[in-house]
Amino acid sequence: MPGAQNVVFKAVARFRKRGWGTSPTAPVDDREHGGGLEFGFSTIAEERKPTMMIYVGNLDYAVTSDELRTLLEPFGAVTMAEVQVKSRTGQSRGFALVEMPNEREAEAAISALSGSDFRDRKLTVNESRPRRTVRDLYAGGGWFGGGGGG
């Protein structure tokens, strides 16, 4: 169906023109060389390099994201270092999330900084875990012992 290929090709051209990404891999027009349109799909794992999110806890409330970045940069590249703040007041929540693109460097930073003193406080540094929701706490036995039944 040559008409359908033209429609798809035009849609992809509009997609690219607007600056939207090319994932899943957009059709390749190979009609000039006797081929047709080819589709390929790439997975998220192929597109993103493995990074590690690090939780840094027990921070002094006056620590800034820049200070945290300088603390972690000797161990390797830091993609993001962000001290978490309360949305209403802007006050620090006492912990931060740091993203490092190299997993080995991140593990070295965790082992070196965990339990170390920074501004007279012992840091808690480990790999960040997914945030638990209220539903998880009820279902998993977090608050009321979980279970259910009657």
Taking only the tens place, the pLDDT of each residue in 60-105 is: 999 999 999 999 999 999 999 999 999 999 999 999 999 999 999 9
- Name the CATH code of domain 52-128 (choices 3.90.180.10, 2.60.40.10, 3.30.70.330, 3.40.390.10): 3.30.70.330
Report phi then psi at 37, rounded to 5: -90, 135
Q: Where are the domains of the chain?
A: 2-45, 52-128
pTM for the whole structure: 0.59
| Whole-Å CA distances, 129 to 52, 53, 55, 65, 80 | 10, 8, 8, 20, 17
Segment 122-148 mean pLDDT: 74
Segment 29-53 mean pLDDT: 57
Kindly tell me if the per-residue pLDDT of 143 is higher than 90. Answer: no
Instruction: Tokens for 126, please give them.
Output: 């480990």
